[in-house]
Amino acid sequence: MVSLRDSFSRKIDYLRISITDRCNLRCRYCMPEAGVPSVGHQSVLSYEELLRVARIAVELGVRKIRLTGGEPLVRKGLLDFIAALAKLDKPPELTLTTNGLLLADQAQALKEAGLSRVNVSLDSLKPERFSEITRRDQLPQVLKGLEAAEAAGLTPLKINMVPIAGVNADEIADFARLTYAHPWQVRFIEFMPVSSGLEYRPEQRYPAAQIQADLEQVAPLQPIPRQGILGPAKIYQFSGAKGSVGVIPAVSEHFCGDCNRLRLTADGQLRPCLFSVEEIDLRELLRSGVADEALAEVLVRSVKAKPERHCIQEADFQPGKRPMQGIGG
C-alpha cells in the first residue's frame, strides 16, 4: 500500500484541516479589520467531503488530525463531524486549535464527541491589550474557555502565544509563570510575516533566541525530551512547575527536517508547506465523482511536492495572498 512519504524521506502522518475561513476575532496579524471576503458557501468543503478526505488520509497513514480555521468552533455541525472522525477505522488523534471564545459552551460536548485536546491561542493576559490585538473585548470568555477545557479533560491543554515586539512581547514571563499553577504547555510561536497587507511589520518579529532568553530570566530551563507525534516546538520545564513551556522558532530556524504535516484549506486546496504559494486543488476532483484511488493519488502527489525547507527568511521570499486565517496556522 502507498504511504505518505515525501521526496526527502519524511513520513507525513499529520493532517491539518481548516474547516472554515470565518472567524469571530480580528487579530491584527491574521485578519483585516473588515474580515476577509467569504470564499463562498459553495467553495467550502462539506463535512461529507472532509470526512472522505480524512478517511483516505488515515488509510494512507495519517495518525493525527487537527481542526483549525478561521475559528473552527463557529462552524455549525462540528460535533457530528468530530464524532464521525472518531469512528473511522484506526481513528487518528483528534485535536483542535481555537481562539477559545466559544469553548466554555462547547468544551464538554467536544470531548464527548471524541476530541482529545485543544490548543488555545491567547496573546495577552491584559484585557485592554487583548482588545487591541484581537479588535474584540473578550478576554474573559477565553479565560472561561480555558477553565472549561480543563474541566472537560481536553488535556494536556496547550496555549499558543505569538510575541510581537512593541505589542505583547513583554508578557512572555507572565505567560511562562502560568505553568507553575497550571499543568498547561505554554508555547511561544515566532510571528510569521506570511501575508501581505496585515498589521505589524516583519521587523516586529520577536526571535526565538530572544524568547528563550526571556524565559531563562524566569528560571533555569530544563529541556524535556519530545514524545509522540513530533512537532517543531522545543519544550522545557521550570523546576517545580506543573506545566511546561515551548518555543517554536517558526522563522529563525528550519524545523523543516522534522516536518510531518500536510494542510487542507476550507476551500479544498492542499498546501504542501505552510509557506507554499503552490496549492493543489482537491475540491474539483472531489466533486467530479472520482474514485478514492484518484483522491489518494493527489494526497500522495501533494506530499511529494513538499519542499525540503521553507525560504521565508530569504531575500526573494514573497508573502502569499492567503492570510493565516485562510491556511489554519
Q: Site for ligand SF4 (CB under 6 A): which residue of 4, 12, 17, 31?
A: 31
Phi, psi of 258 (to 5 degrees): -100, 10
Q: 122 or 295, CB closer to ligand SF4? A: 122
Q: 273 or 324, CB closer to ligand SAM? A: 324
Q: 23 or 113, CB closer to ligand SAM? A: 23
Cis previous bond, 156, omega within 30: yes
In the complex, minimum distance from the CB of residue 120 to ligand SAM, in angstroms, rounded to a whole number? 7
* Consecutive H or E run containing 271: strand 269-271
**Amino acid, single-letter form, for residue 36:** V
In the complex, minimum distance from the CB of residue 92 to ligand SF4, in angstroms, rounded to a whole number? 23
Check residue 307 and report its DSSP letter. -
Q: Site for ligand SAM (CB under 6 A): which residue of 20, 99, 168, 269?
A: 99
- Beta-carbon contacts of residue 194 (< 8 Å; ≥ 6 apart): 274, 275, 312, 319, 320, 323, 324, 327
Q: Residue 146, interface with ligand SAM (CB under 6 A)?
A: no
Q: How far apart are CA 319 and CA 327, in angstroms?
A: 13
Q: Site for ligand SAM (CB under 6 A): which residue of 14, 29, 81, 130?
A: 29
Q: Residue 189, interface with ligand SAM (CB under 6 A)?
A: yes
Q: Site for ligand SAM (CB under 6 A): which residue of 130, 191, 236, 275?
A: 191
∠137-127-178 over CA atoms, to 5°? 130
Scanning residues 51 to 70, which ones bind ligand SAM (CB under 6 A)? Answer: 68-69
Looking at 50-58, 262-270, 304-312, 320-328, which segment touches ligand SAM (CB under 6 A)? 320-328
The residue sitting closest to ligand SAM, measured at its beta carbon, is 329
Q: Residue 190, interface with ligand SF4 (CB under 6 A)?
A: no
User: In which region does residue 89 sit, left (phi positive, over 0), alpha (psi from -120 to 50) or beta (all else)?
Assistant: beta
End-to-end C-alpha distance for the chain, whole angstroms: 30
In the complex, minimum distance from the CB of residue 327 to ligand SAM, in angstroms, rounded to a whole number? 7
Pinpoint the alpha helices (H) of the chain: 47-59, 78-86, 103-113, 127-134, 139-152, 172-181, 208-218, 283-286, 292-304
Looking at 38-46, 68-76, 180-188, 282-290, which segment touches ligand SF4 (CB under 6 A)? 68-76
Q: Site for ligand SAM (CB under 6 A): which residue of 162, 172, 274, 312?
A: 162
